[in-house]
Chains A and B, each alone.
Chain A
Amino acid sequence: MRPFTEHMGIAIPLLRDNIDTDTIIPSREMKAVSKTGLTDGLFAPWRYTDATTRSLNTEFALNQDIYAGGTILISGRNFGCGSSREHAVWALAEFGFRAIIAQSFGAIFKNNAVRNGILPIELRSPEVEALADWVSLRPTEHRLTISLIDQTVTAGPLGTSRFEMDPDAKKMLINGLDEIGLTEQILSDIEDFEARDSLARPWIYLKDR
């Protein structure tokens, strides 16, 4: 996994509540058995006036030159709610996003994000709105600086906002850790658990059929 320590980039405001994973990547855009090749489908319902012909909706921020090269998304309450599809995170990562700033996140989306090197940052509504207003004035110049180490977002004259971060997720992102590898190192704990648990709950342990 690509580690995340610090990042400076252009931020794209998309200030709506409840942006669900169906909108981030619709089911019809998940055409192949693959974790890649998803960028065309990213935000397809909003990015295109006609998803079949791929006619661009020029009013949508992702299609506007001023936001070209954007790597940070700013959104409202409950970003990434709905379906558990990790394709939503894969599509955002493949498009180039490194961090999402929102009021809150869907629980599964947040888990998926940190496992793919995307930093989910939760800030309060007035801070989110102030950031969105400031970056939209001059997106290419008004870049945001994010430090995961310090847990801060810095935005020129607005100063620095601090965000809360789960310490385990932070460690994983900073070091780009592979969780499965870490757990495999404590396999004996799992085996010990099974030995105890198979006495307490023998019906759980099915015979291989």
Chain B
Amino acid sequence: MYKNIFEKIWQAHEVKRLSETQSLLYIDRIFLHERTGSLALQGLTQAGRVVRRKEHTFCTMDHIVDTYPGRSDDTEMPSGKEFIIATRKASEEAGIHLFDIADPDQGIVHIISPELGIALPGTTIICPDSHTCTLGGIGAMGWGVGSTEAEHALATSTLRVNRPKTLRIHYEGTPCQDFSAKDLILHTIRTLGTAGGSGYGIEFSGKAIDNLGPEARMTVCNMAVELSAFTGLIGPNQNVIDWFAGRDYAPFEAQASDARAYWAGLISDVGASFDREISIDLTDVKPQISWGTSPEHCINFDSKIPDPKYAPDKTRHDAWVRALEYMALKPNTSLQNYPIQAAFIGSCTNSRLTDLKAAADYLQRTGGRVAKGVKAICVPGSGRVKRAAEALELDQIFIKAGFEWREPGCSMCFYAGGESFGAGARIVSTTNRNFEGRQGLGARTHLASPITVAASACAGYLCGAPL
């Protein structure tokens, strides 16, 4: 019986089949953060329960903590300090490992969990954060949960999960130069729509995926949730397996070779079947930029902004009209007509070393400087990414070009009442959501890759890197 990667991981974690549709799955790792972690831990305590496996449970400060140099528990977000202190206290009482603000390994949860070897190929990992699917990039099955489900996992090391159907998205063809993992996933969301993965665990495959390194694979899987999928997965190749050597929580010595053999077996068998298979042709597809207020509102960077007249149906017509109004864009015009006020590089989508390197390489190659009137920020995803970037003097390239160089965290991926780009500001951003108000009240977000953000920051308007 041939199995796909999803079936292999699912079966290895099935404690008990509870019904035809639902299984009790073993959860290998739980990661919490200060936005909701204290709530889950408090809920548990109030119900008279404890964390069942403390050693498999971790917490970080990423969502609320400031990213300014010299930061402390005080935050720009009103009442942010309350969350930080409550999380610190709850983590200590629960006896779980917290990567606190001053910890050299602190960072965005989905950046640090693989970086430290906490998430490993073939593991199940949950977090009260929708982008936990990021970890599919290293062959882990990760998914976001609410606080109630997080409590369930904390108390029992398991979750009751309805088995999703499986979908394989297979990529064919060769895209244009500078087409990054971010462009691949934006193009996919644009093609399938934001509900295109609803009810599915998705495997991404094909030559365009095989060629991607571990970090780029995580960028792809990161936005599986923007397809409304349960999770996204990519079969781990030798590069991914080697990437874990020597990581703090990864297996070592005798266990390491067993683990490596196990991980190598996680790829979908030739002949394995899926509930649905889709093929996407990337031939000549160009870098993507979002124009609207949904991640499916994307175009090639040099295409014209679409006209609602040609929307496929009435709801989409109305949504496009609304989006154009919110974004202050005119249909059939070029993105180059629109000056930007801000550029942001960071988030669990694009704040790894390879992302920073791609943007820094562009800045160095072109000698580009951030255009006048543009506030440009670069936020490394973790303390380790920051130090590795500084060892390569990437920080100097960013600072010289006019970018702010920040401390690790989620930062301006979303507006929590504190730091904002300001009403009406047009931002080109490596983040994952361009919803109304996501980066500030009235702020207008355009999603793009790190290179596109660097190029736009220097040009002062929305554009791609010259091909």
A-to-B contact residues, CB < 8 Å:
15-18, 20, 22-23, 26-28, 30-35, 45, 51, 76-78, 81-86, 89, 104, 106-108, 111-112, 115-116, 166-169, 179-180, 183-184, 186-187, 189-190, 193-194, 197, 200-204, 206-209
Contacts and interface: CB of A to CB of B under 8 A. Distances in A.
Contacts of B250: 203
Contacts of A193: 15-16, 26
Interface string B119-152: 0101100001110000000000001111111011
B238 interface: no
Contacts of B366: none
Nearest to B39: A33
B334 to A, nearest CB: 26
Given A33-B83, A202-B258, 17 more contacts: A20-B433, A22-B438, A28-B417, A30-B416, A32-B82, A35-B39, A78-B228, A81-B228, A82-B435, A104-B195, A106-B228, A108-B225, A168-B21, A180-B152, A180-B156, A204-B123, A206-B249
The 3 closest A-B pairs by CB, nearest first: A28-B417, A203-B251, A86-B146
Contacts of A112: 146, 148-149
A35 B130 contact: no
B158 A190 contact: yes
Given A17-B319, A104-B195, A26 B145 contact: no
B18 interface: yes
Nearest to B29: A204
Interface residues of B, number: 83
A197 B435 CA distance: 42
Nearest to A171: B19
Interface stretch (B49-57, B395-403, B457-465): B49-57
A115 to B, nearest CB: 4
Nearest to B437: A45
Contact of A111 (B146, B225, B226): B146
B130 A84 contact: yes
A27 B439 CA distance: 10
A18 B156 contact: no
9 contacts: A17-B319, A28-B77, A85-B128, A86-B147, A179-B160, A187-B156, A190-B15, A190-B158, A197-B26
A23 B230 CA distance: 21
Contact of A33 (B82, B162, B230, B435): B82
A163 to B, nearest CB: 15
Nearest to B148: A115
B297 to A, nearest CB: 10
B155 interface: yes
B205 interface: no
B79 interface: yes
A155 B283 CA distance: 50
B294 interface: yes
B294 A33 contact: no
A18 B236 CA distance: 32
A208 B55 contact: yes
Contact of A18 (B78, B294, B414): B294
A22 B431 CA distance: 15
A204 B18 CA distance: 24
B388 interface: no
B437 A108 contact: no
A184 B49 CA distance: 11
A33 B42 contact: yes
A168 B162 contact: yes
Contacts of B26: 190, 193-194, 197
Given A78-B228, A189-B15, A190-B15, A86 B24 contact: no
B439 to A, nearest CB: 10
B198 interface: yes
Interface string B3-46: 00000000010011011111010101000000110110011000
B436 interface: yes
A189 B20 CA distance: 18
Nearest to B151: A180
A201 B26 CA distance: 12
B52 to A, nearest CB: 8
A17 to B, nearest CB: 5
B39 A23 contact: no
Contacts of B433: 20, 22, 82-83
Contacts of B436: 23, 45
Nearest to B420: A28
Contacts of A169: 162
A168 B18 contact: yes
B417 A27 contact: yes
Nearest to B164: A107
A206 B39 CA distance: 25
B229 A107 contact: yes
B211 interface: no
Nearest to A204: B28
Contacts of B225: 82, 108
Contacts of A86: 36, 128, 146-148
